[in-house]
C-alpha cells in the first residue's frame, strides 16, 4: 500500500503482533521500501497525538523567544550537539549557502550509570520555559522506542538476529531536533533554501508531521516527489550509516525542504525529526552478507563516531581541523 504521495505505507502494529505472518509481511514491505525509495510512512507508530501536539506547542514557544534570549543557549565548541543553533549556521554537504532554519537539539538521557555519559554534553534547560526540557525528554524516549522496533524489523530483513542493533543503540548518540524555518523576509543569499538537498547521517530518521509543505524526496527516476503530512503516519527514512553498513542494499535517499511560493514567504514552518544514531564505537563495516561479486565492498571500515565527526565538519557544525 502507498500513500497519496507515493511513499509506501506500513503498519507497525503488524510487526508488534504475535502473528508471524503479519510480522513477516511487515518486514517484507519495510525491506522493499528501503531497498527502493529509502522512505516509508508508518502508522500505529506509538507516538501519541497528545505528545506531538505538546511538542509542537513547546517548540513554537521557544522559537518565539527574543533572539538575544535564544542565543544564550547556543553552546560553543560542541558542534551543535545540544541546545540552540542559530539561523543559517548549518548548510548541506557541498553547499556554502546556509539553510534558512534555526533549531534545537535534545540528546541522550543516560540514566543507568553507563560510562558513555561522559561522551555526551549535558542537555540544556531553558530558564524561560522550564517545561521545555522535560517535554523534550518525553518525546525523545518515545521516538527512540519506536525506532528500536523498526530496527528489529530491519535486522530480520537483513538476515541478522532481531536484537542485532539493540546493544549499539542502547544509550546511543541520537538527536531530537525541533526545527523552525522562519518567514522569508527580503532578499536571501543565492541558492539558499530551507534545507538543501542532502542525505541524513544516522541509521534511520523518524519525522513527525510538519506545519507546512516543503519536504521533497528524490525517487529512483531522479524525480522530486513532494511529501505533505500523511494523516496518522510518521515518515521514516534510511540514513547514510545504515546504507554504509548494508553496502548500499538499503538506500539513503536524497531529500530537501524547498522554499514556499512567494505568497507564503511570510509564514513559518516547523518540523521535528529524530535522528537515530548508534553508540560511537559501533563498527559501520559493510556486512559480509551484503557483499558479493555483483556488489563488491563499497566503503572502508569506520566507526559511527569517526563517521559522524567527518560529516559534521562537512556540513559546517564543526570547524575543519587545520
Q: Using the 8-state DSSP alphabet, how is residue 300 labeled?
A: -
pLDDT given at position 95: 46
In a domain, 19, yes or no: no
In a domain, 254, yes or no: yes
In a domain, 20, yes or no: no
Q: CA nearest 77: which of 318, 321, 322? A: 318
Per the structure, the count of domains in the chain is: 1
pLDDT given at position 321: 47
Q: CA nearest 255: which of 194, 167, 299? A: 194
In a domain, 6, yes or no: no
Q: CA nearest 107: which of 69, 78, 71, 66? A: 78
In a domain, 23, yes or no: no
pLDDT given at position 240: 95
pTM for the complete prediction?
Answer: 0.89
pLDDT given at position 91: 44
In a domain, 149, yes or no: yes
**CATH number for 105:** 2.60.120.330
Q: Answer whether 177's CB lies under 8 Å from 272's CB.
A: yes
Q: In terms of residue numbers, what domain contains 246?
A: 47-230+239-314
Round to whole Å and give the CA distance between 168 and 164: 8
- Per-residue model confidence as pLDDT tens for the chain (322 residues): 555 456 889 999 999 999 999 999 999 999 999 998 888 999 999 999 999 999 999 999 999 999 999 999 999 888 788 999 988 665 445 544 456 789 999 999 999 999 999 999 999 999 999 999 999 999 999 999 999 999 999 999 999 999 999 999 999 999 999 999 887 766 666 556 666 777 889 999 999 865 446 678 887 778 787 776 677 889 999 999 999 999 999 999 887 877 666 666 667 788 899 999 999 999 999 999 999 999 999 999 999 999 998 887 777 666 654 4
Q: Using the 8-state DSSP alphabet, how is residue 264 labeled?
A: G
Round to whole Å and give the CA distance between 307 and 257: 24
pLDDT given at position 211: 45
In a domain, 322, yes or no: no
In a domain, 187, yes or no: yes
Helices 132-157 and 20-36, interaxial angle, to 10°? 100
Round to whole Å and give the CA distance between 228 and 194: 15
Look at strands 175-176 and 269-276 and give their pairing: antiparallel
Amino acid at each position: 500500500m502507498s500513500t497519496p504521495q507515493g511513499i509506501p505505507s506500513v503498519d507497525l502494529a503488524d510487526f508488534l503482533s504475535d502473528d508471524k505472518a503479519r510480522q513477516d509481511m511487515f518486514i517484507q514491505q519495510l525491506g522493499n521500501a528501503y531497498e527502493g525509495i529509502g522512505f516509508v510512512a508508518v502508522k500505529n507508530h506509538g507516538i501519541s497525538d497528545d505528545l506531538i501536539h505538546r511538542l509542537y506547542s513547546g517548540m513554537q514557544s521557544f522559537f518565539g523567544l527574543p533572539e538575544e534570549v535564544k542565543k544564550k543557549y547556543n553552546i560553543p565548541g560542541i558542534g551543535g550537539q545540544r541546545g540552540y543553533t542559530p539561523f543559517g549556521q548549518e548548510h548541506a554537504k557541498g553547499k556554502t549557502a546556509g539553510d534558512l532554519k534555526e533549531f534545537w537539539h535534545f540528546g541522550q538521557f543516560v540514566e543507568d550509570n553507563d560510562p558513555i555519559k561522559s561522551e555526551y554534553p549535558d542537555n540544556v534547560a531553558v530558564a524561560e520555559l522550564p517545561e521545555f526540557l522535560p517535554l523534550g525528554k518525553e518525546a525523545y524516549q518515545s521516538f527512540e522506542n519506536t525506532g528500536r522496533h523498526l530496527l528489529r524489523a530491519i535486522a530480520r530483513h537483513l538476515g541478522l538476529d532481531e536484537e542485532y542493533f539493540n546493544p549499539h543503540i542502547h544509550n546511543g548518540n541520537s538527536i531530537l531536533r525541533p526545527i523552525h524555518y522562519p518567514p522569508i523576509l527580503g532578499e536571501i543569499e543565492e541558492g539558499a533554501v530551507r534545507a538543501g538537498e542532502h542525505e541524513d547521517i544516522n541509521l534511520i530518521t523518524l519525522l513527525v508531521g510538519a506545519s507546512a509543505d516543503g519536504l521533497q524526496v528524490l525517487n529512483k527516476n531522479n524525480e522530486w516527489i513532494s511529501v505533505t503530512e500523511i494523516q496518522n503516519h510518521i515518515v521514516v527514512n534510511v540514513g547514510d550509516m545504515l546504507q554504509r553498513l548494508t553496502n548500499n542494499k538499503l538506500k539513503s535517499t536524497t531529500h530537501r525542504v524547498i522554499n514556499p511560493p512567494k505568497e507564503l514567504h511570510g509564514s513559518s514552518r516547523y518540523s521535528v525529526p529524530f535522528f537515530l544514531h548508534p553508540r560511537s564505537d559501533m563498527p559501520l563495516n559493510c556486512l559480509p552478507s551484503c557483499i558479493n561479486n555483483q556488489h563488491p565492498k563499497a566503503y572502508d571500515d569506520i566507526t559511527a563516531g569517526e563517521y559522524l565527526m567527518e560529516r559534521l565538519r562537512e556540513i559546517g557544525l564543526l570547524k575543519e581541523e587545520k
